[in-house]
Amino acid sequence: MSRLSDVLAAARAEGRAALIGYLPAGYPTVDDGAAAMVAMVEAGVDIVEVGLPYSDPLMDGPTIQAAVEVALQHHTTTDDVLASVRAVAETGAPALVMTYWNPILRRGVRRFAGEMTDAGGSGVITPDLTPDEAGEWIEATDETGLDRIFLVAPSSTDERLRYTTDHCRGFVYAASTMGVTGARTSVGNLAEKLVARTRAVTDLPVCVGLGVSNGDQAAEVAAFADGVIVGSAFVRRLLDAPSAAAGRSAVADLAAELAAGVRRTT
């Protein structure tokens, strides 16, 4: 089993969902962003998604786009992303990279997979890559042992769910709402239905992303999912902070609230 699978299994053994937090590399700076990721882990996040800044973010909502634009203005590179992965991995938490496919293609598919492994990364989430078009990526991740995580959505047919999950490793990323990312005032019932449909075709953990922003919502999703993924709410804490130190504190406070939420019993 991979480190990612071990952490998800440990959370399940505790009778709770895992907490997965996302921040883009390079915001507000590379070092400060990595420090914020470490602060998330120290405050209760189980798994960290490191966002690779990209100039054409099809799925990113305005909050994440705002941070990514600053990271790009600072010329954040793939090497910087890998440095952030290394910083997270050194805490013992699994570090994943969330990236569109084009940056991997530009870097070189096997090169990127190898560099992720060397940095201590556990896996990669590719929101715009489908298994049908991932032949070289599947080969590279098989060679390196990286977990590869594809997305399913409420619009996915049962056949599509089965095909996608057959090619996932680590967990399945269930996008609970259609459209771009962003914190929402309510979670809605599409997520629970999607998790149930996905579990019908795979034994892999199913983790839900897009929309969770507070402890109550985390508890709601944790009642039916194996993992709760939080991105925009963490990024918003950094964007609103008057300094990098205040940002780390704000991110840690939210992580603690969310960690309590996924441990709540009803």
Please confirm, yes or no, whether 49 is among the known catalytic residues: yes
Instruction: Output the average pLDDT for the chain.
Output: 93
Q: Is the pLDDT of residue 114 over 90?
A: yes
pLDDT in tens, 3-61: 999 999 999 999 999 999 999 999 999 999 999 999 999 999 999 999 999 987 667 78
Active-site position among 49, 80, 147, 226: 49
Could you tell me the fold of the domain covering 3-10+17-262?
TIM Barrel (3.20.20)
pLDDT computed for residue 3 by the predictor: 95
What are the tokens at 64?
């994440």
Please state the pTM of the whole predicted model: 0.94
pLDDT-wise least confident of 156-160, 179-183, 262-266: 179-183
- pLDDT at residue 265 above 80? no
Of 85, 84, 134, residue with least CA distance to 109: 134
Q: Both tokens of residue 165?
A: 């999950």
- pLDDT tens, residue by residue, 195-243: 999 999 999 999 998 789 999 999 999 999 999 999 999 999 999 999 9
- Is the per-residue pLDDT at 151 higher than 60? yes
pLDDT at 251: 98
Concatenated DSSP letters of the chain: --HHHHHHHHHHHTTS-EEEEEEETTSS-HHHHHHHHHHHHHTT-SEEEEE---S--SS--HHHHHHHHHHHHTT--HHHHHHHHHHHHTTTS-EEEE--HHHHHHH-HHHHHHHHHHTT--EEE-TT--GGG-HHHHHHHHHH--EEE-EE-TT--HHHHHHHHHT--S-EEEE-SSSS----S---SHHHHHHHHHHTT--S-EEEES---SHHHHHHHHTT-SEEEE-HHHHHHHHH-SSHHHHHHHHHHHHHHHHHHHT---
Residue 52, phi-psi category: left (phi > 0), alpha (psi -120 to 50), beta (remainder): beta
Question: Is beta strand 151-152 parallel, antiparallel or unpaired with respect to 147-149?
Answer: unpaired
pLDDT above 90 as % of the chain: 88
The separation between CA 181 and the C-alpha centre of its own chain, rounded to angstroms, equals 12
Catalytic status, residue 128: no
Q: Where are the domains of the chain?
A: 3-10+17-262
14, 32, 42, 60: the catalytic one is 60
Q: Is pLDDT of 177 > 70?
A: no
